[in-house]
Amino acid sequence: MTDVTLSKAVRANLLHLQNTAKMMDRTQERLATGLKVNSALDNPTNFFTASALKARSKDLDLLMDAISNGVQTLQAADKGISAISKLVEAAQATARQALQTTPTVQQPVRQAGSVTTVNLSALTIAGAQPAQPATIATANLTGFTAAAAQPPGPAEGTVDLGAAGNATAMTNGFADGTTLSFTDGTDTYTIYFHDNDSGAVTPPEIGIDVSGGKDIDTVLSEIQAAIAGNADGFNDFTIAMSGTDVVFSMGTNLDDTLTVAGTSGAATAMAGAYAPDPGAPATTGSFTINGHTVTIAPGDGLTEVMAAFQAAEAASGGTTAFTVSESGGVITVEAVGTNSLVIAGDNTAVNAVGLSSGTVNQTPAVASQAGTITINGVDVAIDVGDQAGDILAKLQAAAATSAGTNQFTVTGNGGFITIEGVGSNSVQIGGTAATLQATGLTAGNHLGAPTGTTVEVVNPKRREMVTQYNELLQQISDMTKDASFNGVNLINGDNLEVLFNEDGTSRLVIQGVAFDALNLNLLELPADGFDATVDIESTLSTLKDALGTLRTQASRFGANLTVVEARQNFTKQMINTLESGAANLTLADTNEEAANMLALQTRQQLSQTALSLASQADQSVLRLFG
């Protein structure tokens, strides 16, 4: 392709026209997007600064939802505290109302005789039960191993010379003329303490010089040295001092008792007879069950012990028969039929497997509770298996047949059966003793109270108000559970953490509380909780404290809510500031850009006219060839 050569004028006008078109494209883009910086190419500094501001604004905007939830959670807790406070105030009103009532009232006594049984709600009249065989369950022998015997040890003794009663001996020490003797069962060896008087020592006595007021440690060390060096066999035991304890031992002599005697002072404090350590016997031996031998040997475990029991069981029979079973390491011995179980023999072996020597008899039979109840001469038959409803129906049927001076009525309420004489009638109770006891009735003549008799009783209004009070406490606990927002309940022990900036360095942790009745120290009252005036006053004091606690916490939550709402408003304003800053860096002035577009359009038209004029010069050359 041959290059086209443009004249200078045409090329100049063409370039101007191209530049104008380029500027028009940029102006159109600004008008279309509203931004004067659409990419980093337009203005790198403004573009990246605006992007950072927008990113932070977006992060803060995301936090706004969490802050808003925090506000609602605090408001829910505040509303919950307000509602609980009203319930506490209602409880106060109930207690004050109880306080205003009289503690007791006079109540007329029924004129007719009346009898109320025990609560029969769960009663079923029992039938006779047969005698049960004697049964013994041993200890759990899962890890049992019968122990081997341990050999005896020598006679040993420890005397605390610093203990109460020996303090004087410690002070006096070993005075001149004091003796201390040791008897090993055959020979007696005496230590003679003297004040530089060696002539008083007669072998096999050992002399110890105590002149100069030697202390006990030194004296005992010299005794020990003298014993070790004695040639007459006076060396079968040791003696030493440990703190304030004198420790002595017969050494290898395992059979003899060590007897220590002294004439005065510390020697007397050590006096006494010390027998050899007997050692531990082996868990071995034989015992009998109903006369049949069970042998336990050292090293036996559950399997061997069970086999020994089973061998004895196999040999039993007739009046001595018994059975043995094992489950989970527990061995159960049970007599057959009505037999007794008689355990006798070596108590070491008996105790090792969890048994005790002696006789275990069968459980005696239990007689049926069925029988007859007589009320004012009318018999009521009670059968085995009768329950509260059956007994009530039978008693009411009997009451329907009564008349005249023997007439009575029977009512039932909540499992309680009340028998009442009509008018001034008494209620005469009789019948089978076991059945009377089972139904809670007492035999005898139950007389009516004289006409006009009254009795002072607790005001029933106070009892009613206890019920109302306890119902309010339950509502307080229920209210506490319902004051949650978005799964967080600040008055039921939950905590709330609200973040205020994008990197989490600014936050508020709100500690929750538990405001159910129990944690407000509002305890459910017993039925007699308002009987005494002092108890009501104590309850009112507790309610006052609970209200104070609620109001204090409401104030804390209010302060927290103020902080969260202030941060919420601040964050909103900060978002606007960041968005405005980003806009200032990137937004275009549409008025300016519109004016620029109009000027560029005019320039384009003028450039096109200039280009047309420049090209006419080239066209005039063509006319020369026409």
pLDDT over 80 at 68, yes or no? yes
Query: Percentage of the chain with pLDDT > 70?
Result: 81
188, 270: one domain: yes
Mean pLDDT, the chain, whole residue set: 80
**pLDDT: is 44 or 570 the higher one?**
570
Contact (CB, 8 A) for 154 and 249: yes
Residue 44 lies in a domain: no
In sequence order, the β-bridge partners of residue 326 are 331
Please give the Cα distance from 349 to 298 (Å, whole number).
10
Residue 278 dihedral angles phi and psi, to the nearest 5°? -70, -15
Single residue among 244, 277, 310 that ends a domain in this structure: 277
193: which 2 tokens? 């303490």
pLDDT in tens, 99-135: 888 887 776 665 677 787 767 766 788 888 888 888 8
Is 12 a member of any domain? no
Contact 296, 286 (CB under 8 A): yes
We report the CATH number of the domain holding residue 447 as: 3.30.70.2120
Residue 530 has pLDDT above 50, yes or no: yes
Q: Quick check: helix, strand or coil at residue 163?
A: coil
Mean pLDDT of the 492-501 span: 87
Q: Which runs of E-coded beta strand occur in 279-347?
A: 285-289, 292-296, 322-327, 330-335, 341-345
Contact in structure between 356 and 350 (CB atoms under 8 Å): yes
In this structure, are 267 and 157 located in the same domain?
A: yes
Condensed to tens digits (0 to 9), the pLDDT of residues 191-206 reads 887 777 655 666 667 7
Model pLDDT, residue 252: 63
Name the domain boundary from 451, 471, 491. 451
Cβ–Cβ under 8 Å, residues 415 and 388: yes
Q: What is the mean pLDDT of residues 216-231?
A: 71
Residue 35 counted as domain residue: no
> pLDDT tens digits for 225-281?
777 666 555 556 677 777 777 777 776 665 667 788 888 777 777 787 777 777 777
Number of domains in the chain: 4
* 356, 411: one domain: no
Examine residue 14 and state whether it is found in any structural domain, yes or no: no
Q: Assess whether 170 and 204 both reside in one domain.
A: yes
Do 116 and 172 belong to one domain?
no
Biggest CA pair distance of the chain: 177
Residue 55 corresponds to which tokens in the numbers above? 């990113």
3-state secondary structure of 247: strand
Q: Is 271 found in the same domain as 225?
A: yes
Is the model's pLDDT at 490 over the cut of 70?
yes
- Whether 606 is in a domain gets the answer no
| Domain boundaries, position 385 | 110-124+368-451
Q: 259 versus 310: which is more confidently predicted? A: 310
pLDDT at 1: 47
For 279-298, what is the mean pLDDT? 86
Which carries the bigger pLDDT value, residue 165 or residue 312? Answer: 312
Angle at CA of residue 226, ends 240 and 158, nearest 5° = 20
DSSP assigned state of 206: E
CA distance 94 to 92: 5
β-pairing, 188-194 vs 206-209, is parallel
Query: Could you read off the pLDDT of 541-582 as tens digits, one per residue?
Result: 999 999 999 999 999 988 998 988 888 898 888 888 887 777
- AA identity, residue 602: T
535: CATH:
1.20.1330.10
Q: Which residues of 75-113 are buried (b: 16+ CB within 10 A; e: fewer)?
A: ebbbebbebbbebbebbbebbebbbebeeeeeeeeebbb
Q: What is the 3-state secondary structure (H, E, C) of 167-187?
A: HHHHHHCCCCCCEEEEECCCC
- According to DSSP, residue 383 is labeled -
pLDDT band at 2 (very low <50, low <70, confident <90, very high): low
Region 424-429: what's the mean pLDDT?
86
Measure the CA–CA gap between 466 and 486, rounded to whole angstroms. 36
- Contact, 290 vs 322, CB < 8 A? yes
pLDDT score, position 372: 93
Same-domain status, 397 and 424: yes
Same domain as 478, residue 437 = no
Q: Examine residue 8 and state whether it is found in any structural domain, yes or no.
A: no
Q: Which helix (H) or strand (E) holds 498?
A: strand 496-499
Q: Mark which of 338, 360, 382 sits at the end of a domain.
A: 360
Higher pLDDT, 335 or 30: 335
Asked whether the predicted pLDDT for residue 169 surpasses 60, the reply is no
Residue 302 has pLDDT above 80, yes or no: yes
pLDDT confidence of residue 622: 61
Structure tokens at 77: 């807790």
* Within-domain flag for 493: yes
Structure-model confidence comparison of residues 175 and 293, the more confident one: 293
Q: Are 331 and 141 in contact (CB under 8 A)?
A: yes
Q: What angle do CA 156, 213, 161 make, to 5 degrees?
A: 30
- Residue 620 in this model has a pLDDT that exceeds 70: no
Residues in the chain: 626
pLDDT interval class at 310 (50, 70, 90): very high
Give helix 44-100 / helix 460-482 axis angle, nearest 10°.
170
Residue 89: what are its φ and ψ, rounded to 5°? -65, -35
Asked if 102 and 263 touch (Cβ cutoff 8 Å), the reply is no
Is residue 372 in some structural domain?
yes
> Going by C-beta distance under 8 Å and a sequence separation of 6 or more, which residues neighbour residue 87?
472, 475, 476, 479
Percent of the chain with pLDDT over 90: 16
Q: Indicate if 346 and 262 belong to the same structural domain.
A: no
**Which pLDDT belongs to residue 476?**
92
Encoded tokens for 400: 């329907």
| Residue 343 vs residues 125, 144, 402, 480: alpha-carbon distances, Å | 37, 20, 60, 63
Same domain, 232 and 259: yes
Give yes or no for a cis peptide into 130 (omega within 30° of 0): no
User: Is it the case that residue 140 has pLDDT exceeding 90?
Assistant: no
Residues 508 and 400 both lie in one domain: no
Q: Nearest-5° angle of CA 30, CA 34, CA 35?
A: 70
> Are 344 and 380 in the same domain?
no
